[in-house]
Amino acid sequence: MSEFVPVARADQIPAGEVKVVHAHDKSLALGHCDDGTWGAIDNVCTHDGGVLGEGELEDCLVECPRHGARFDLLTGEVRALPAVFPVNAYPVRIVDGVVEVDVAVPTKPLEIG
């Protein structure tokens, strides 16, 4: 069952940026990709616990500010080492200018290896 939670106004996050938001007890990295797509992933790097929402967003990939691991904002998959384990990704929608994240059922990417 879906559980969309409002986390920000769409105009608070320009295209190409990522920010830390909270939905219930979850800390998320919410990003607005340059192509207009929105995505949300768990806010903790699986390599060493870095805060992903404080990283850089490029081509819908969030780069951890600590060691440069990169995660796909839409799937949570690892796209660059040193991380090897993915993070959860969550569906995002915009309703009347408000960004909502579905925290009920995260998308769990396949682990490779």
Identify which of 58, 62, 56 has the alpha carbon closest to the alpha carbon of residue 76.
62
Nearest 10 degrees: Cα torsion 78, 82, 88, 89: -50
Question: What is the DSSP code (8-state) at residue 85?
Answer: S
Q: What is the chain's pLDDT, residue by residue, as a tens digit (113 residues)?
A: 889 999 999 999 999 999 999 999 999 999 999 999 999 999 999 999 999 999 999 999 999 999 999 999 999 999 999 999 999 999 999 999 999 999 987 876 655 54
pLDDT at residue 109, rounded to an integer = 60
Q: How far apart are CA 18 and CA 82, in angstroms?
A: 20
Place domain 4-102 in its CATH homologous superfamily: Rieske [2Fe-2S] iron-sulphur domain (2.102.10.10)
pLDDT on residue 113: 46
- Tell which residue, 103, 87, 109, 86, has the closest CA to residue 25: 103
Give the start-to-end residue ranges of the domains of the chain. Answer: 4-102
